[in-house]
A = this chain, B = another copy of it.
Amino acid sequence: MASPEMKSIRQQLPRWLETSLPCATRGNVASYIPELSKAPHNALGITLLSATGESASAGDCGLRFTMQSISKVFTLILALMDNGEDEVFSKVGMEPTGDNFNSMLKLELVRPGIPFNPMINAGAITVSSLIRGSSPEEKSERILHFFKDLAGNDRLDYDMGVYRSESDTGNLNRSISFFLKENGVLSGDVEEVLDVYFRHCSIVVDCADLARMALVLASNGTDPLTGKQLIPRRYVQIAKTFMTTCGMYNASGEFAIQVGLPAKSGVSGGILTLVPERYGIGVVGPALNDKGNSYAGVHLLQTISRELDWSMF
C-alpha cells in the first residue's frame, strides 16, 4: 500500500507535468552531436522511486536516451573507489567554475591547471583516465558493469550511433584532453581516455534507470531494494556535494536556490536527482535551455520541490 505522500504525488504528478510541458517549446534539442538532435523536442517524462520500492511516473518516462554528463557522477564514484580521495583530488579540484562546461579558460589561467571539478568536461575526462583497467575496453566494461548494478538493470548498453557521433565530432574534448596532457594531468593515450569517456556518455537509460541509480545515492550507497551496499557512504557524500555545487552546469547555483536538491543533468535532456533518504528521481526532456539543462525538466522539478517543500536548505 502506497504511503500518503506517494499517493499524493501520483495524483498530482500528471498535472504538474502538464504545466511544465510548454517550457519545452522555449528550449532547443542539443545538436552539437548529430545523433542527439533526433530526440523528440516536446517530450517530458519523470519517474520517482521511493526507498520502499514504490514509484510514480508521468509523461514520456519510457523514452530512452543516453546518459551523457549524468554518467560523470558515477564514474567519479568508481574512480574514488578505485583510487581513493587523495589520488583523485590531486588531479581534479572541488570548485564550481562559473564557466561553460567545456570552457578551457581556467586550465590556462589558474595554476596548477587541473580541472576545477569533476562535473565539467575537463574534470570528467580526467576522472575517466583514473578508472582502473588494463585497456580502454576493460575500463569501459567495469564502468558499464557498475552502472548495471546501480540501475539494477542488466540490459544497460551503449548507443553505438551516439558513441560514434560523439567520437567523430568531439574535437573540443580532444582539445581539452591534450591541454590536460600538457598540464601533466592526464597520463596515457588521449584517444584511449576519450574512448572510455565517450562510451560512458553513450550508455542508454530511461527515467526508471535514473531513478534507481539516484535512489542508491539517496540511500547513502545502499540499494534499499536489495540491501546491497554498492558505494561507500563517504563517496556518496562527495558525489551529492558535487551534484549540489556543480551538477547543473553553470546554472547549478540557480538550481540550488530554486530546487535545492543534488542533481546532475546531461545534454540529452536527462536529469538525475534525489531527495535524501527518500526518493530517487529520473527526468527527461530533450529541449534544453541556454545553460544546457532540460528546460521543462528543471521547471517540473522546481514545481515538485516547492509543492512538497523538498529543498535541502
Binds B, one of A18-26, A102-110, A152-160: A102-110
Q: Identify the closest chain B residue to A259 (Cβ).
A: B241
- Which residues of B sit under 8 angstroms from A175, Cβ to Cβ? 104, 174-179, 181-182
CB distance from A81 to the nearest CB of B (A): 16
Stoichiometry, as copies per complex, reads 4
Within 150-203 of A, Cβ neighbours of B (below 8 Å) are at 171-172, 174-179, 181-182, 190
A216 within 8 A of B: no
The residue in A176, A178, A240, A260 that gathers the most chain B C-beta atoms within 10 A of its C-beta is A178
How far apart sit A176 and B256, CA to CA, in the bound complex (Å)? Answer: 27
How far apart sit A193 and B260, CA to CA, in the bound complex (Å)? Answer: 32
- Which residues of B sit under 8 angstroms from A104, Cβ to Cβ? 104, 108, 175, 179
- Which residues of B sit under 8 angstroms from A97, Cβ to Cβ? 96, 98
Q: Identify the closest chain B residue to A103 (Cβ).
A: B108
The residue in A98, A176, A254 that gathers the most chain B C-beta atoms within 10 A of its C-beta is A98
Main SS class of interface, A: helix
Within 60-108 of A, Cβ neighbours of B (below 8 Å) are at 93-99, 103-106, 108
Are A106 and B95 interface neighbours, CB within 8 A? no
A312 within 8 A of B: yes
Partner of A245, one of B105, B110, B256: B256
How far apart sit A312 and B244, CA to CA, in the bound complex (Å)? Answer: 11
Q: Identify the closest chain B residue to A239 (Cβ).
A: B313
Chain A contributes a number of interface residues (CB within 8 A of B) equal to 47
How far apart sit A251 and B238, CA to CA, in the bound complex (Å)? Answer: 15
Are A313 and B109 interface neighbours, CB within 8 A? no
A257 within 8 A of B: yes
- Which residues of B sit under 8 angstroms from A103, Cβ to Cβ? 108
Q: Identify the closest chain B residue to A173 (Cβ).
A: B178
Are B260 and A95 interface neighbours, CB within 8 A? no
Are A311 and B237 interface neighbours, CB within 8 A? yes
Show 17 A/B contacts (Cβ-Cβ < 8 Å), sorted by A: A93-B254, A95-B98, A95-B250, A95-B252, A96-B96, A96-B98, A96-B253, A171-B181, A175-B176, A175-B177, A175-B178, A238-B257, A240-B313, A241-B253, A241-B257, A244-B244, A246-B253
**Which A residues lie at the B interface, using CB under 8 A?**
93-99, 103-106, 108-110, 116-117, 171-172, 174-179, 181-182, 190, 237-238, 240-242, 244-246, 250-254, 256-257, 260, 262, 311-313
Given A95-B252, A174-B175, A175-B178, 9 further pairs, Cβ under 8 A: A93-B254, A96-B245, A172-B178, A175-B177, A175-B181, A241-B253, A241-B311, A245-B256, A246-B253
